[in-house]
Every structure is written in structure tokens, then in C-alpha cells.
Amino acid sequence: MEEDTIMIRAFAMTDLHALHRMICETIDASYSGIYPPRAVAFFKEHHSEKKIVERSSVGEILVLISERDSSILATGSLMVSEIIGVFVRPDHQRQGYGKVIMTQLEQIAMEQKISELSLSISLPSRRFYEHLGYKVLDECILDIGGGELLEYSSGKKKFHPRDGQKLSMATLEVVKTAADAAEVDDLLWRVLWQPLGFPRDIRNNFKIVGEKLELAAKENGLIIGGLVAVQTAKNEIELRHLAVTSSHQRKGIGRGLVTELCRIASIRMYRRIHTVARNTSASFFRTVGFQTVPGFAPEHPVFLEHGITFELLEKAVEQG
């Protein structure tokens, strides 16, 4: 499947008809055959254009947009402390878009000092929310008439204040032009190696053989974050470098780049992502699912002079 450039932004009224159409198509594809006809109609009414407009006036609605054709691929809403209406277009499910939307909604909630989120969980989405850390509390049944019932669950997830980050609406994309590649290279040097006194061409010393994947995070056309990964085996890829400009750190940019790498890795059928992390960034990688693996990490005298050591980490790639 061809990789797409995506952008998350706030809902605009000009999105209304396209968003409602995408939601209805998703309900038909995901709920028909699992729920009876009245339940499917109930879901559509619960997410009608009128309901979308009402929610947009009191809460936050996000849309995930394909920059290739401006189509809406996913959406989700935050109403105070409740998440509502998370949908991913049927032909783009199992590509990590739902997780991307949920991560952004949770970041908004944490920025607003919300310590606990609640949501209603449909039958086909239970595994997805459990994987994201939501605890299923109650099994619920709604009588929708005509002898038909709608089954769902209630769920909650608690947050610690230190989990909060300021939200940044950045575009994540695969680097395709020489100009963007040069800009990512310059960013990596300024953030990772210049402060340690390394020469401008130091990255050449760290190159390894393999197919390279570079990602960029852009805001207003400027690259504010970069990631470089290299395929090291048939089903494995190594995250070589990750950096975010100092003015945009702690805003979810690094997390977003890693999430996008995981999405692409899943499409390409990679099984594992490796990285050699500095001791100053190992805790970040653990928050995005990496775990310590045995082995000897490299050492470098210049890094040691600055108190920097390294750790081998690995993350399993979820397969759709």
C-alpha cells in the first residue's frame, strides 16, 4: 500500500458533509452483521450532522486528513472528559490512524488537566480500546425497540499529571525531496551532535547499509522534527536518529514520528523496530512501547565526556 502524508487538524464546518458520509460508511461496514438493523440506524442517528454540529460547539472534534486528496480518513471527539465518535474509514483501518487520533485526543485532555477519560465501547472496538489502556467497567444493553437490543460497554482510563504534553498539530510525511532531506540532516546535526562539538559531517560516520526511511514533521511548511530508520533485516528496521527542534519539544512531535514509523513498519510487514538510545532519551522510548534487550551497546569517548551512555531497545510491530 502506498504511504500517505497525513495531517490532523480541528474540524471545520466545511468538513460536515464529508465527515458525516465517512462516519455512516464506517458504521455500515463495521457494524452491519454484528448489530441488528435498528442498532445500526441508532448509531447513525447518534452521529448525525446535527449531532456533529452540536458537539463542535461545546467540545473538540479532530479530523485526520490525507494530503494526497484532502479526504477524511479518521475522526474523534472530546466532550469535556468523554471521548465520542472515533471512526476510521473502512479502507484505511488497521494502519494506526485510530491510535493517532486517540493519542491526540488524550493529549488535549491532559493539557486541559483532565485526569480521567470515559467512553462507550462498541462490540467491534473493544479490543482496540483495551490495547490503548482503557478498562472495561460495565456491560450495557439498550432496548431500541422492535425486539432488538444494542450491546456495548463503558470504559475509563486514568492519567498521571506528568503524562501531559502541549499539543502540536504537525504534518507527518515521508521525506521525498533532496531539499527536505538536507533540512532533516541539518536539524539532526543541530539537535543531536553540534551541542557535543561534533563536526558537521559526523552523521556519515554513523551510516549503515540498508534501505533508508526518513520522516519529517512540518508546521507551517517548516521541518520541526525528523526521524531516520534503516532496514537491517528482512523483517526488522532500526530507528537510527530522532530529533525535534528545541522550541517544539514536549509537544508530542517525537511521539507522533515514532507512531508514524510504526504504522509504516506494519504496512511493510516488519516485525521489530530496534534502536540504540542515549540514556537521556531511553525513558521517552519506553513511553512509546520500547523495551530493553540484552546486548552490548556502543560507547564513544566524546559521548562519555558529556555523561551520555547508550542502551539497546526494541519494540514489536503490531500487524493489522
Show which of 163, 181, 215 is a domain's final residue: 163
Residue 155: domain span: 6-163
Do 69 and 138 reside in the same domain of the chain? yes
Do 29 and 91 reside in the same domain of the chain? yes
Do 48 and 108 reside in the same domain of the chain? yes
0.75 surpassed by pTM: no
Please report, rounded to a whole number, the percentage of residues in the chain having pLDDT higher than 70: 95
Q: What is the rounded average pLDDT of the residues 308-313? A: 94
Q: What's the total number of domains in the chain?
A: 2
Residues 206-263 have pLDDT tens digits of: 888 899 999 999 988 899 999 999 999 989 999 999 999 988 888 888 988 998 899 8
In this predicted structure, what is the pLDDT of residue 320?
A: 57
> Is the separation of the CB atoms in 59 and 108 below 8 Å?
no
The CATH number of whichever domain residue 298 belongs to comes to: 3.40.630.30
Do 128 and 240 reside in the same domain of the chain? no
In this predicted structure, what is the pLDDT of residue 1?
A: 44
Residues 15-74 have pLDDT tens digits of: 999 999 999 999 999 999 999 999 999 999 999 999 999 999 989 999 999 878 889 999
Q: Is residue 1 one of the residues assigned to a domain?
A: no
pLDDT at 165 over 60: no
Do 281 and 256 reside in the same domain of the chain? yes
